[in-house]
Amino acid sequence: MPSLTEPKLISGNANMTLAKSISRRMSMHRGMNVGLVDARVERFNDAEIFVEVFENVRGEDMFIIQSTSKPANDHLMELLIMADALRRSSAGRITAVIPYFGYARQDRRTKARTPISAKLVANMLTRAGIERILTMDLHAAQIQGFFDIPVDNLYAAPIFALDIQHHFGSMEDVMVISPDVGGVARARELAKRINAPLAIVDKRREKPGEVAEMTVIGDVTGKKCIIVDDLCDTAGTLCKAAEVLMDAGATEVHSYITHGVMSGPAVERVSKSVMKSLVITDTIEPTQAILDCPNIRIVPTAPVFAQGILNIWNGTSVSSLFETDTLVPIYEGLYNGNGA
């Protein structure tokens, strides 16, 4: 249902850079200033979170921009408290724009007496007064079903396809790699978009976070391999997969990862790995170490999030953003023509 008011944006502290970029893009689209609502999200001396909104939001169509990235608990609480503040201020509708949805890896019970934390977070967000979610590349698509409100899950694959076509040119010797069997659907989608073959790195884990063995399923000899996944945490598995692919005959290995969590030694591992490049998006605000790493490159998501917010606001299709024909004009400043 189209809103009768202008969309209004508010941001927590998780990724203020992305929030400002989205607001600038929306200002370009609207031909008028779409700034962030004046508010403060602060902490008392005991780290208790306090939110105060300085503008009237009664009846407004509000969009809270907040990734639940590290520190995940703090940023999640900021999001919940901002939603409560807006609800108690009589906002017309509250949409949470969560570029990176934390706790998504806990989407099922892996063993006895463990939680399904993604479902718990979904319940918390809904009870806080949030009426719609806009996110990108959920770790598992079925998380959308954890919510009893609409969830729009954008995909990075169409953006990555434009970037790959722009930087690689010919797709003749390019091969897309899924880093595990569970990610085949995601890798297949990208491979289909760039008309490239697909291979799989099958990994066997002895325990979480440790990979015991990797096997390449498919012939990667003489290929420029592009590993695609939804997130990179410590980069241990990613760097080992790159080594396995090079040992199997690949000429180059590149990685396209949506969410650059990049915990602990991740940046150092990537800088020393055989990977020629790691491309991530800005759904999580990059640290200075990431920005300084010569083989890490960042693709912006502000254009697609800005258009997604406008589509939700005016009641038009969000799924249209999955199409290349729609994305090309949105990203025309980065990729010209058909992306070549």
Radius of gyration of the chain (CA): 20
Closest by alpha carbon to 53, among 89, 3, 90, 92? 89
End-to-end CA distance of the chain: 37
- DSSP lists the bridge partners of residue 93 as 61
CA distance 317 to 326: 11
Closest by alpha carbon to 334, among 150, 159, 92? 159
Amino acid (one-letter) located at 252: E
Please say if 203 is a catalytic residue: yes
- Bond before 208 cis per omega within 30 degrees: no
CA distance 305 to 309: 6
Closest by alpha carbon to 227, among 283, 267, 260, 186? 186
CA distance 79 to 315: 24
Of the residues 70, 119, 203, 223, only one is catalytic, namely 203
Instruction: Tell me which residues are annotated as active site.
Output: 203
